[in-house]
Amino acid sequence: MTLAQQLESTLTAVLAQVLGEAITAAVSPANDLRFGDYQSNAAMVLAKSRKMNPRALAEQIVAAWPAAAIATVEIAGPGFINFRIKAEVYAARMQSAASDVRLGVSPVADPRTIVLDFSAPNVAKPMHIGHIRSTILGDSLSRIARFLGHKVITDNHIGDWGTQFGMVTWAWKNVLDEPALLANPLAELLRLYRHASDASKADESIREACRLELVKLQQGDAENFAIWTRCLELSKQGLQQIYTRLDVNFDHWLGESAYNDALAPLVDKLLAENLARESDGAVCIFSDGSVADQTKDPFLIRRDGEWTDFPMMIRKSDGGFNYATTDIATLEFRKNEWNADSVWYVVDHRQSLHFQQLFAVAGRLGLDSMDLRHIAFGTILGTDGKPLKTRAGDLPQLADVLDDSVAAARLTVNERSRLDTDEERAELAELIGISAVKFTELAHHRLSDYVFDLDKMVALEGDTAPYLFYSNVRSRSIFRKLEEPFVAGAPIELVEDAEIHLARLLSRFAEVVPAVLDDCRPNILTSYLLEVARAFHSYFEACPVLKAEGITRHSRLTLCHVTAQTLATGLKLLGIPVPERM
């Protein structure tokens, strides 16, 4: 149980005694240390509904507060109840955390099967800077959900069946450079794509030719299927190189093509059940009028002063299927084959309308018991403050961004590192470079647009991954110098403010990790880890460890140990490994 939960439990018991009824009151961390460690506004909330004086009710709560509780209480302001955790309680927490790999984080009581759909690049094109957010956010969320005890299925729903294959196939047949393909498959595939893309824009007939190639592929044409198979294989190899470098793993790579056979029957079923109907030769799903507020109906749109249909198209007039069709089929598969309780889509916020429609359709298909979330995120901007356009064709490639970041890290490492060998330094530079990109992404609120500024990303000072690394390195360094063995688990005592403050933050790890999943926001964890690191650096300056003796020495070693464990565990949940030396 976390400290907040213990306080809530005690407070509930006290309220039962004071008011004579069972009321669960919330306790939250105090915003300001001057007020204590935790606070509750229960007296103010309850007094209002009972027409009581909030301070008078708070007085009663304080009077009934058991002396043996983990915290002392006091009243402040209009009726806040402030809790101050006893130092010995923090000491006991640190003592047990020292030998607990979970650092006090309990598995959830109701583990669920969560399908996490993220990254999902279109194949035949290399990943670019725009793929960073989904890939890194999704990976981190999957790690955190797993750590909390959920059954997580990660699925890379790659775009392997769409328009771009019509283009690549057309270019493959017309301008393929076979030797170039053998020498550098990804570069040649990109060239083919760009060639077709540019040609389509310039020439209507080429665009039509590309579209026909796609239709042929989707109808099972043998030649096009062979080209597609080879493109897909080459593309996947290229993608996997990046995922390996990022240490991002998928349980499945069930792309759009995996659902191809399900699409025609799905559309027939929806037509038969009157959930969809024909419109201008296409098959669409319309509003069913179940949403009273028309502005909230995802199948209606206001145009020229009137509400008109904005249907979800599931079959084009040429017989081809849409993104939407595949998504419905995919959702049914995840429910039926994987027994998913939740499906979380880590996808650009620009697709929010699509997901509103998809989730509404899921409801009509009886899939509404599932927890479906569109985990939207904002746009990555250039240094000019303008969005990087996703299909401009000349965005920086993800692999290049990683290389640049590592190169920048290498400069700093060579200048400042205490590592001896070139191998160690190269390894550290790779670690810091990749981590800088990941940490920058995860430290931002996911819905914010953020400016992609490589110089700042790899600045390596301030609120960055290396700052966290450095805390860990300082801690580990002490243990390397230690002559006696460190045995975790012996009692400790906390005296200095810096010790108590560090212990207070470390004790909150168990509250912070679950909070990330409430709104799928890893930046809660990055903020917390920076706070821990800051507290550790202050502590490190204020409280000598190796010069101390007796219980003080053991206590300080324990804090160093728990700090290192917390940082390493927290960073691991973000997909970032931590170095022992730097």
Structure tokens at 547: 């010069």
Query: Which CB, 102 or 216, lies closer to RNA?
Result: 216
Note whether 341 binds RNA by CB under 7 A.
no
Among residues 126, 130, 320, 522, which is the contact residue for RNA, using CB under 7 A? 320
Question: Would you count residue 240 as binding RNA (CB under 7 A)?
Answer: no
- Chain positions 386 to 405 lying near RNA, rule: CB under 7 A, are 386-387
C-beta closer to RNA: residue 203 or 309: 309
For RNA, which is the closer residue by CB, 60 or 523?
A: 523
**Cβ contacts of 34 within 8 Å, gap of 6 or more:** none
Query: What x/- string results for residues 149 through 188 when contact with RNA is judged by CB under 7 A?
Result: ----------x-xxx-------------------------
Q: Which token pair is 380?
A: 């990555």
Site for RNA in 113-142 (CB under 7 A): 122
What is the nearest approach in angstroms of RNA to the Cβ of residue 161?
7
The pairing of strands 380-381 and 277-279 is unpaired
Give the binding-site size for RNA (rule: CB under 7 A).
105
Stretch that binds RNA, among 27-35, 198-206, 335-343, 397-405 (CB under 7 A): 27-35
Residue number with CB closer to RNA (181 or 506):
506
Q: Considering the complex, what minimum distance in angstroms separates the CB of residue 37 from RNA?
A: 10
Using an 8 Å Cβ cutoff, are 88 and 152 in contact?
no
353-382 residues near RNA, rule: CB under 7 A:
353-354, 378-379
55 in contact with RNA (CB under 7 A): no
| Residue 525 parent element (H or E) | helix 523-542
Interface of this chain with RNA, residues 406 to 445, rule: CB under 7 A: 412-413, 416-418, 428, 432, 443-445
Query: Which residue number, 250 or 469, has a Cβ lying nearer to RNA?
Result: 469
Contact assessment for residue 521 and residue 556, using Cβ atoms and an 8 Å cutoff: no
What is the nearest approach in angstroms of RNA to the Cβ of residue 230? 20
Lookup: tokens for 469: 């690394």
Q: Which residues contact 262 (CB under 8 A, 6 or more apart)?
A: 329, 332, 333
Handedness of CA 90, 96, 101, 106 (dihedral sign): negative
Figure out which of the listed residues 5, 53, 290, 352 binds RNA, where binding follows CB under 7 A: 352
Cβ proximity to RNA: between 96 and 351 the closer is 351
Residue 41 as a binder of RNA (CB under 7 A): the answer is yes
**Contact of 388 with 382, CB cutoff 8 Å:** yes
3-state SS string for 115-167:
EEECCCCECCCCCEHHHHHHHHHHHHHHHHHHHCCCEEEEECCCECCCHHHHH
- Which position among 21, 32, 110, 204 is part of the footprint of RNA (CB under 7 A)? 32
For the chain, how far is it from start to end, CA to CA, in angstroms? Answer: 36
- In the complex, the smallest distance separating the C-beta of residue 180 from RNA, rounded to whole angstroms, is 26
Q: Which residues contact 423 (CB under 8 A, 6 or more apart)?
A: none
In this structure, which amino acid lies at residue 427? E
Give residue 426's identity as a one-letter amino acid code.
A
Stretch that binds RNA, among 176-184, 237-245, 343-351, 564-572 (CB under 7 A): 343-351
Phi, psi torsion values for 342, nearest 5 degrees: -135, 145
**Helices 185-202 and 222-246, packing angle to 10 deg:** 120
SS3 314: strand
63 versus 546: smaller Cβ distance to RNA: 546
Rounded CA Rg of the chain: 28
Nearer to RNA, 142 or 435 (CB): 435
Q: Which of 467, 486, 488, 493 binds RNA (CB under 7 A)?
A: 467
For the CB of residue 179, give the shortest distance to RNA in the complex, in Å: 30
CB of 519 to RNA, least distance (A): 8
Residue 282 as a binder of RNA (CB under 7 A): the answer is yes
Residue 566 beta carbon to RNA: minimum distance, rounded to whole angstroms: 16
What residues from 474 to 533 belong to the interface with RNA (CB under 7 A)? Answer: 474, 477-478, 481, 521, 523-524, 527, 530
Decide if residue 447 touches RNA (CB under 7 A): yes
Nearer to RNA, 265 or 281 (CB): 281
Nearer to RNA, 321 or 344 (CB): 321
Work out the angle between the directed axes of helices 550-573 and 132-147 (0-180°, nearest 10).
130
Burial grade of 523 (CB within 10 A; 0-12, 13-18, 19 or more): middle
Give the count of beta carbons closer than 10 Å to the beta carbon of residue 473: 18
Options 14, 30, 398, 516; binder of RNA; rule CB under 7 A: 30
Nearest approach, Cβ of 510 to RNA (angstroms)? 16
**In sequence order, what are the residues at sequence separation of 6 or more whose Cβ sits closer than 8 angstroms to the Cβ of residue 48?**
54
Helix (H) / strand (E) element for 291: namely: none
Q: Please, which residue, 181 or 443, has the CB nearer to RNA?
A: 443
Residue whose entry in the numeric block shows the structure tokens 């860990």: 472
Q: What angle do CA 22, 24, 25 make, to 5 degrees?
A: 130
Residues from 563 through 582 that contact RNA (CB under 7 A): 581-582
Is 450 a binding residue for RNA by CB under 7 A? The answer is yes
Residue closer to RNA (CB basis): 268 or 277: 277
List binders of RNA among 74-113 (CB under 7 A): 76-78, 80, 82
| 459 touches RNA (CB under 7 A) | yes
CA distance 290 to 107: 39
Closest of 309, 304, 284, 281 to residue 294, by C-alpha? 309
Q: Residue 224 interacts with RNA (CB under 7 A)?
A: no
Length of the chain measured in residues: 582
